Amino acid sequence: MKTEKPEVTIFWFRRDLRLNDNAALWEALKNNSSVLPIFIFDTDILQKLPSKNDARVSFIYKVISNLHSQLHNWGSSLKVLYGKPLEVFQELMTNFKIKNLYFNHDYEPLAIQRNKAVTSYFENQNISVQSFKDQVVFEKNEVLKPNGTPYTIFTPYSKIWKQQLNTNKPTIYNTAAYNCNFLRTAPFPLPALKEIGFSTVETPCAKPEINHEIIRNYHNTRNIPHLNATSNLSLHFRFGTLSIREAVQIAQNLNETWLNELIWREFFMMILFHFPKVVTESFKKKYDFIEWRNNENDFEKWCAGETGYLMVDAGMRQLNKTGFMHNRVRMIVASFLTKHLLIDWRWGETYFAEKLLDYELSSNNGNWQWAAGCGCDAAPYFRIFNPLEQIKKFDKDLIYTKLWVNETNTNTYTTPIVEHKFARQRALDTYKKAVGSF
């Protein structure tokens, strides 16, 4: 006897891995019953990762395991799948009668392409697809110049962004109010991480908490690497385990400097959305004519934290060991690679993409282009950080550097691979030649 397929509304988790204040999930539950949440381990993404011991995959797995348990407590379950999204949905169609599909917006070129393909497939089946804004406060065409074009300079963008915030307070969505509309089902089996080809790696998976005291004092302490004085929330914003709307509300009340950092995040997302060429090209085209040295031996020393410059080496060793790097130090190591060593910013951006737990294409790309001087709102090319002066400013007692460079003040520590004054002048000459020849 043929069993009738259950009718469901699908909510598709991607980089919004939380139940509370999740825009598309709230809309799905508010307007539908029998909402089935799913998560897809996307093989198109996983196959590009250089290692099967990727800590980010372990982090995601821990988070969805927690979601699986939370939904079980609500009498429902999370269905975790593996494969190419379009093929996964085609398979789901054989087991469920899908009434609607809900998900949140993306802004990266490949994600947009994926969403279009999935949307087209469902609409050809006469199935409604609904998507919503969730990972930013303002998106796409909501913050534009008076002439209707995107802002490419942060300061005027942030001014209009804040004006918009004052007149359009973001809604906090109380998902629990509609939790009775989840599909009532026994828990779906949760596949083991090894079943999708990855090993378990120890990763931080604490519940994201906004430390109000740190945020209140953020403007005074954020540039001191050895202090635990930044929010440590970038990983949670990256994977959506924390609501950006909640964070912005707190930032408004506590610290404008931290609010500006959240706005920078959205600024770079919208640059990527409006100008997808930045993934592979300099925003300012003339900087694509820079004659990079691209010395592979120098690059390997930079990657390993063996340049002979303490702040640079400490940052790279912290990154290699933990998957994190303090933001001030990120600027220093990026400036050193692009200016002192004259190595293409794309090399550094790619290395960070492999190593950073909080890797986000828009911010990583935007900040690397900022450091290299070729981005939309970049440090001018003649701004070249002196790594020795940076230590005096931000780590004068060498607390941070000694933590990561054990051989500090010993005769085993490597000599600098390039002399600062020489490297600075070489960079100035090289950049001037590229800019002048355009």
Q: What pLDDT is recorded for position 103?
A: 98
Kind of pairing between the strands at 97-104 and 35-42: unpaired
Q: What is the pLDDT of residues 119-172, one digit of tens each?
A: 999 999 999 999 999 999 999 999 999 999 999 999 999 999 999 999 988 999
List phi, psi (to 5°) of 129. Answer: -120, 125
Torsion of CA 63, 67, 68, 70, to 10 degrees: 140
Q: What pLDDT is recorded for position 2?
A: 58
Instruction: With cut-offs at 50, 70 and 90, classify the pLDDT of residue 206.
Output: low
How many C-beta atoms lie closer than 10 Å to residue 296's C-beta?
A: 10
Tokens 């959240």 belong to residue? 262
Instruction: Report the alpha-carbon distance of residue 189 to residue 249 in Å, rounded.
Output: 37
Structure tokens at 431: 């950049």
Q: What is the pLDDT of residues 373-424, one digit of tens each?
A: 999 987 788 889 999 999 999 999 999 999 999 998 888 999 999 999 999 9
Instruction: With cut-offs at 50, 70 and 90, classify the pLDDT of residue 438.
Output: very low
Chain-centre distance of CA 100, in angstroms? 28
CA angle 172, 173, 176 (to 5 degrees): 135
Q: What is the pLDDT of residues 329-366, one digit of tens each?
A: 999 999 999 999 999 999 999 999 999 999 999 999 99
Contact between 414 and 308 (Cβ < 8 Å): yes
- Is 1 a residue whose pLDDT tops 70? no
Chain-centre distance of CA 230, in angstroms? 16
Contact between 186 and 194 (Cβ < 8 Å): no
Contact between 89 and 38 (Cβ < 8 Å): no
Q: What pLDDT is recorded for position 414?
A: 93
Q: Which residue has the higher pLDDT, 207 or 150?
A: 150
Q: Which amino acid, 215?
A: I
Give a three-class secondary structure readout of the chain: CCCCCCEEEEEEECCCCCCCCCHHHHHHHHHCCCEEEEEEEEHHHHCCCCCCCCHHHHHHHHHHHHHHHHHHHCCCCCEEEEECHHHHHHHHHHHCEEEEEEEECCCCHHHHHHHHHHHHHHHHCCCEEEEECCCCCCCCCCCECCCCCECCCHHHHHHHHHHHHHHCCCCCCCHHHHHHHECCCCCCCCCCHHHHCCCCCCCCCCCCCCCHHHHHCHHHHCCCCCCCCCCCCHHHHHHCCCCHHHHHHHHHHHCHHHHHHHHHHHHHHHHHHHCHHHHCCCCCHHHHHCCCCCCHHHHHHHHHCCCCCHHHHHHHHHHHHHCCCCHHHHHHHHHHHHHHCCCCHHHHHHHHHHHCCCCCHHHHHHHHHHHHCCCCCCCCCCCCCCHHHHHHHHCCCCHHHHHHCCCCCCCCCCCCCCCHHHHHHHHHHHHHHHHHCC
Q: What is the pLDDT of residues 60-100, one digit of tens each?
A: 999 999 999 999 999 999 999 999 999 999 999 999 999 99
Contact between 305 and 313 (Cβ < 8 Å): yes
Instruction: Report the alpha-carbon distance of residue 135 to residue 436 in Å, rounded.
Output: 40
Contact between 419 and 340 (Cβ < 8 Å): no
Instruction: With cut-offs at 50, 70 and 90, classify the pLDDT of residue 56.
Output: very high
Instruction: With cut-offs at 50, 70 and 90, classify the pLDDT of residue 430.
Output: very high
Q: What is the pLDDT of residues 129-141, one digit of tens each?
A: 999 999 999 999 9
- Is 205 a residue whose pLDDT tops 80? no
> 49-82: b or e for each residue (b if 16 or more CB lie within 10 Å)?
eeeeebbbbbbbbebbebbbeebeeeebbbbbbe
Sequence length of the chain is 438
pTM attached to this predicted model: 0.95
Q: What is the pLDDT of residues 242-298, one digit of tens each?
A: 999 999 999 999 999 999 999 999 999 999 999 999 999 999 999 999 999 999 999
Q: What is the pLDDT of residues 25-48, one digit of tens each?
A: 999 999 999 999 999 999 999 999
In DSSP terms, 304 is beta-bridged to none
Q: Which domains does the chain have, with CATH numbers?
A: 1-134 (3.40.50.620), 136-170+211-274 (1.25.40.80), 278-436 (1.10.579.10)
